Structures are given as C-alpha cells and as structure tokens.
Amino acid sequence: MDTNMQTIWLSHPLTEQTPLYGGGQGIEIRPDKSIADGDSCNTTHLRFPAHSGTHVDTPRHFVGDGRNLDDIAPGEWIFNSPQMISVNVEPGTLIGAESIASSIDNDSKSDLLLIFTGFERYRGEPLYWQNSPGLKPELADFFSSRMSRLRAIGIDFISISSLAHRETGRAAHQALLGKDLLLFEDMALAGIADRGDLKQVIALPLRIAASDGVPCSLIGLITP
C-alpha cells in the first residue's frame, strides 16, 4: 500500500444500541466466559438480525433468483474507482435522478457510488429510523445509462427504503438489486469529508452461507 495513503473506517461498530430498520430489536452482545469470573478465557455471545448496522444487501434480498453471498467472488468486494457525492436532503426525502444527475458524468467509470447526506448525525435518535431518506426506483435505470461499471451503492442512512415510503422502498430494492448491484446501508461516511481523495474501498462481509445480507466492515483508502 502507498505509504502516503490513510485508512479509515466506513462502517459503524455493532453494539446493542445499533438502530435497526423499523425500530427493530434483537441485538445481543454479552460476555459468555470471563477470566475475571475464573474462566480460562474471555468469550462473547453474539445474536443479531442479518441486516444489522452497516451491512450489505445482496441481490437475493429482494430477487428470488438473485445472487446470494456465496455467489459473490472475493474480488468483487474491492472497489478501485469509488465516487462519493453529496446530496442535501430533509427527513423522509426520496432521492431521485434529479438530485444527483449533475454529479454523475455521462460515462462514469465509478464502480462504487457513495451517497453522502449527513443523515448519520441523527443515528443516536429515533428520527434516524423513523423518517430517514430513501432512494427512488428510477435510479436503477439512471445508473445503467450513466454508470456502466457500477457494482455497488453505499448510503449513510439506515436503508434505501424510507419507513415513510415503504412501498416505494420495496420497489427501489427490487429495481436496484435486480440490476445485480450490492447495497451497503447504514455506512459511516462523515469521516471522508475534507480528508482527501478516496482511492479505494474494501468491504469485508461476515461470511454466512447463502445469505441475502450480512453485517459488513468497510475501510476506505484516502490520499491526503
């Protein structure tokens, strides 16, 4: 790796306070064995839904015959031409082509598009899952026409499906995953701002066989 590059996290740590879509519950992280209690080692019991925290949706999530985690080759988790765009949104706003067209070249070579809204600043509040932004289904065709090399989309809000527009959100999942794109939801993008040029993103999914989605750690390589 270039010694001039900096490496940053683009994912949030998973905790029992991690917000889940729809206000869901079910994350459990507790000690199993403890040296302090006389055990020979420290171990931890983990329990959580597959779509918890920063995670990836594979096409199988909304496409019956779409690819699952096993179908995605290791090299597909490395993105060498990432692009981040900024979009100003209000809570509950649906992001469509009109919001991002001016930021995307007609023949973009980007393989990963990160959509920065700054909404992660509300991550500790109910607003984050109650009235997050979302994506419009029309973006699937827009990306096909403008970004022929696009393989994945990442967002800094809880889901591409806003809870206030669930039917549209389902349609957006079907449309985007139907294009065989990967969706990284609930990302940590604030750390990129003013840090330099994002050169590479590496995603490290939790390998659960045949999964439609799993928690995912992502790192970004930046040239100051």
For residue 157 the two structure tokens come to 């809000």
**pLDDT digits over 52-69, tens only?**
999 999 999 999 999 999
pLDDT of residue 5: 85
pLDDT of residue 196: 63
Residue 30, domain member (yes or no)? no
pLDDT of residue 3: 66
**pLDDT digits over 90-142, tens only?**
999 999 999 999 999 888 999 999 999 999 999 999 999 999 999 999 999 99
Domain tally for the chain?
Answer: 1
Q: What percent of the chain has pLDDT over 70?
A: 97
Residue 41, domain member (yes or no)? no
Distance separating alpha carbons of residues 42 and 26, to the nearest angstrom: 23
Residue 31 clears pLDDT 90, i.e. is over it: yes
* C-beta separation of 119 from 92 below 8 A: no
pTM: 0.96
Average pLDDT, the chain: 95
**pLDDT digits over 32-51, tens only?**
999 999 999 999 999 999 99
Assign residue 38 a region (left: φ > 0; alpha: ψ between -120 and 50; beta: otherwise). Answer: left
pLDDT of residue 118: 96
In which domain, by residue range, is 146 found? 6-23+50-223
Residue 10, domain member (yes or no)? yes
Residue 1 clears pLDDT 60, i.e. is over it: no
Q: What percent of the chain has pLDDT over 90?
A: 92
Query: Alpha helix locations (H) across the chain?
Result: 97-100, 127-130, 139-146, 166-178
pLDDT of residue 195: 60
Residue 37, domain member (yes or no)? no
Residue 29, domain member (yes or no)? no
Average pLDDT over residues 4-28: 95
pLDDT class of 224 with cuts at 50, 70, 90: confident
Distance separating alpha carbons of residues 57 and 60, to the nearest angstrom: 8
Residue 151 clears pLDDT 60, i.e. is over it: yes
Residue 16 clears pLDDT 70, i.e. is over it: yes
Residue 123, domain member (yes or no)? yes
Q: How far apart are the first and last CA of the chain?
A: 14
CATH of the domain at 198: 3.50.30.50
pLDDT of residue 20: 98
Residue 35, domain member (yes or no)? no
Residue 63, domain member (yes or no)? yes
